Structure 1
Amino acid sequence: MQTINRTFQIVGIKGHGAFKNFATEVPEFARQLLHRTREIEHHTNIEIALFEPKWGDDHLEGHYYVGILVKDKPSHVPKGMEYLEVPGTYVWVKGPVEHVDKLYDEVGQWVSEQKLTRDWLSYIVETYHPTENGEDVEVYLPIIDY
């Protein structure tokens, strides 16, 4: 695990729903976007998702973006999509996508052990990377950089 400063440049579509449904809703939304990848200039073929943090038990709904990382700002953004630049300081961890819950537990514990402060106003970021045996996910948990 490590701390990293990074700016994500993405073209994506925004969704909204109940946090409890994100595990099924977000991948379905991503599939819709992937059918339109060829419309996106400068794309890298790396899928990305941005998630509004769930800051409490009574915070039941939130929004998210699914998209593709781009190398540069496109001259044209396809209809129904947005271009976003998302800068931040993150704690970063990578592992198999099927262990994403474990990765979140590990990164949360590490943030606590290092006495870092979560940034509850910035998006949690996940990027997805195909491997020979499936797919890896990189999780970027936003922290406040003092």
Structure 2
Amino acid sequence: MVKVVEKTFMVVGGKNRGLFKEYAEAVPKAAQLFLNRESEIPFSSGIEVTVYEQPKQQNQLEGTFYVGVLVNEKVSDLPTGMEYIEAEHRYAMTTGKVSEMSNIYSNLDKWIVENNYQHSSPNNYIIEVYDQVENDVENVEVYIPIVN
């Protein structure tokens, strides 16, 4: 089920670049490296996130993403190599299993069109928030920024 939500995300994370077609492998690898440093982050909620910059051009092959954690307060004294991101927007949001990520995005994109929304400016982030793993199944909330 897709919902429209207004939400603010406060994230501390590490910046990464890679080919879009390699994200399925690159993002989990970057997340594992990042999690080794999670204890350095003040005000960490312990909730893992990935923040994606949207493609700026139709034929763009490479992108930027951040792996990190949600924080409970703005962080000004950042650990070396980390950045603070605050993203506030209206999002189309749904949940699902990480193993079904492509279906989650396809369903969200279809819902956005069918309900007369559009993807917002490429300057707004797509955000994935990960739930704890239970019985070897990891769930994710996906937030795509939208406008009417």
TM-score by length of 1: 0.93
**Secondary structure, aligned partner of 1:41:** coil
CA offset at residue 120 of structure 1?
Answer: 3.7
* Count of equivalent residues: 145
1:109 aligns with 2:110: yes
Question: Residue 118 of structure 1 aligns with which residue?
Answer: 119
Percentage identity across aligned positions?
Answer: 37
CA offset at residue 51 of structure 1?
Answer: 1.1
- Could you list the per-position Cα deviations for residues 60-101 of structure 1 after superposition, in whole angstroms to 9, with x for gaps in the alignment? 111111110000013521010011111111000001111111
1:128 aligns with 2:130: yes
Contact 1:4 1:90 in 2 (8 A): yes
Distance 1:132 1:51 in 2: 25
**Secondary structure, aligned partner of 1:24:** helix
Q: Which amino acid aligns with 1:125?
A: I
Question: Residue 22 of structure 1 aligns with which residue?
Answer: 23
Question: Residue 9 of structure 1 aligns with which residue?
Answer: 10
- Could you list the per-position Cα deviations for residues 16-73 of structure 1 after superposition, in whole angstroms to 9, with x for gaps in the alignment? 1111111111111111110001100111111111112236652111111111000001
TM-score by length of 2: 0.92
Moved runs in structure 1, 4+ residues, more than 3 A?
54-57
Contact 1:45 1:68 in 2 (8 A): yes
Q: Please, which runs of 5 or more residues in structure 1 have no aligned partner?
A: none
Written as runs of structure 1 = structure 2, the 5 A alignment for 1:131-146 is 131-133=133-135, 134-144=137-147, 146=148
Distance 1:64 1:113 in 2: 28
Q: Please, which runs of 5 or more residues in structure 2 have no aligned partner?
A: none
CA RMSD of aligned residues (A): 1.4
Q: Which amino acid aligns with 2:77?
A: H
Distance 2:24 2:76 in 1: 32
Distance 2:92 2:8 in 1: 13
1:39 aligns with 2:35: no
Contact 1:19 1:54 in 2 (8 A): no
